[in-house]
């Protein structure tokens, strides 16, 4: 295979600059930042799963600041209504006016998405899928870019509403945020703090040059357009397309799997593989790019058989089995 010299390095460069911008505040966030850039570049959304206190909120906040993007955080609660997200019509000076909800932003941190009932979850998922919301019969477009970073706690406790598979399928990637290695956790203690609060958060500077805060949002839209253009221009050979599709289709035939990955998953895997190639500074997709992103693209879409779950077989094991079953193109 030829190795065309990448004419641009927008994706790789954005990722590197993002990493540098957040270093004063967060350690060990490489996987999350990779996912963030991949999702931004292809217009997908990120699901973060991890126990409390693993910097899920902090990374999303810091990365949004570094992009110079508008950022909103919504704590999902059992009593939340769809209109708390999308907005409502209110009377203002005797006239009915639209008061936009927090969904009108660039980066929306949907914290603890599984603590809200299905009706509110689907309002968010509709916004994610359509890039628009309908309030009182009027359809309103969301901002561009619009990136949802949703978090959920892996431990299901009383009063949670696990996202149905159909809704999980809409997330481009699911990143499992675990405990950092000892030396990384140790370096976390050296970050600047005042009491409990990380003090450097306010110092995270946008990686896109902008004069006024108002222009910053235009800059992030321009950056997103450039990221998208670079990803779209990434070469994907027939062999690699066959390869990634074979992995997706194999998940449907594994004995441990009840419901395998959807055709939508194949599209997501292709787009994420292209973005991963660019992250590595390459203009073509290699089988390794596919293998690298397959776990985070596929793990949340597989429903395992109860017997397999009892044997502690995990979705990642199923993804690994599917990868192992498909010959790598040469």
Q: Give me the residues that bind ligand ATP (CB under 6 A), please.
A: 26-28, 50, 52-58, 180, 188, 191, 198
Q: How far is the CB of 175 from Mg ion (least distance, A)?
A: 14
3-class secondary structure, 238? helix
User: What, of ligand ATP, Mg ion, none, does residue 303 touch, CB below 5 to 8 Å by kind?
Assistant: none
Tokens of 34: 């990779």
Shortest Å distance, C-beta 21 to ligand ATP = 14
In whole angstroms, what is the distance from residue 55 CA to residue 48 CA? 10
Cβ-based nearer residue to ligand ATP, 32 or 302: 32
DSSP state of 106: S
- Is 141 or 192 the residue whose CB approaches ligand ATP more closely? 192
- Closer residue to ligand ATP (CB): 181 or 281: 181
Nearer Cβ to ligand ATP (111/289): 111
Site mask, Mg ion, residues 43-72, x = CB under 5 A? -------------xx---------------
Q: What SS3 class is residue 11?
A: helix
Long-range contacts of range 126-130, CB-CB < 8 Å, 24 or more positions apart?
Answer: 127/85, 127/86, 127/103, 128/45, 128/170, 129/170
d(C-alpha 243, C-alpha 289), whole Å: 11
Q: Closest distance between Mg ion and the C-beta of residue 55, in Å? A: 8
Site pattern 7..46 for Mg ion (x: CB under 5 A): ----------------------------------------
Distances (CA, A) of 99 to 85, 96, 110: 11, 10, 19
Give the C-alpha separation, 279 to 300, whole Å.
23
Which residue matches tokens 């009892």? 310
CB of 107 to Mg ion, least distance (A): 14
Give the footprint of Mg ion on this chain (CB under 5 A): 56-57
């Amino acid at each position: 295979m030829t190795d065309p010299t990448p004419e641009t390095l927008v994706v790789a460069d954005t990722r590197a600059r993002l990493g540098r911008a957040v270093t004063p505040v967060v350690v060990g966030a490489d996987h999350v930042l990779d996912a963030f850039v991949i999702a931004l570049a292809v217009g997908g959304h990120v699901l973060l799963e991890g126990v409390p206190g693993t910097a899920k909120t902090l990374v999303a906040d810091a990365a949004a600041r570094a992009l110079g993007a508008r950022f909103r955080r919504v704590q999902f609660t059992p009593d939340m209504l769809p209109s708390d997200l999308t907005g409502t019509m209110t009377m203002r000076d005797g006239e009915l006016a639209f008061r936009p909800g927090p969904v009108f932003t660039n980066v929306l941190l949907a914290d603890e998405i599984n603590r809200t009932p299905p009706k509110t979850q689907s309002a968010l998922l509709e916004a994610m899928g359509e890039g628009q919301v309908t309030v009182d019969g009027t359809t309103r477009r969301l901002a561009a870019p619009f990136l949802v970073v949703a978090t959920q706690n892996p431990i299901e406790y009383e009063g949670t509403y696990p996202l149905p598979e159909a809704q999980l399928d809409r997330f481009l990637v699911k990143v499992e945020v675990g405990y950092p290695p000892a030396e990384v956790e140790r370096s976390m203690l050296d970050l600047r703090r005042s009491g409990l609060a990380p003090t450097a958060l306010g110092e995270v500077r946008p990686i896109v040059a902008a004069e006024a805060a108002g222009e910053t949002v235009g800059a992030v839209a321009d950056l997103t357009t450039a990221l998208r253009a670079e990803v779209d221009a990434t070469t994907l050979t027939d062999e690699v397309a066959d390869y990634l599709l074979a992995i997706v289709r194999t998940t449907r035939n594994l004995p441990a799997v009840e419901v395998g990955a959807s055709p939508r998953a194949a599209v997501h895997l292709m787009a994420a593989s292209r973005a991963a190639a660019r992250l590595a500074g390459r203009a073509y997709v290699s089988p390794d790019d596919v293998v690298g992103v397959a776990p985070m693209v596929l793990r949340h879409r597989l429903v395992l058989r109860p017997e397999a779950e009892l044997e502690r077989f995990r979705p990642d094991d199923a993804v690994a089995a599917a990868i192992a079953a498909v010959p790598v193109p040469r």
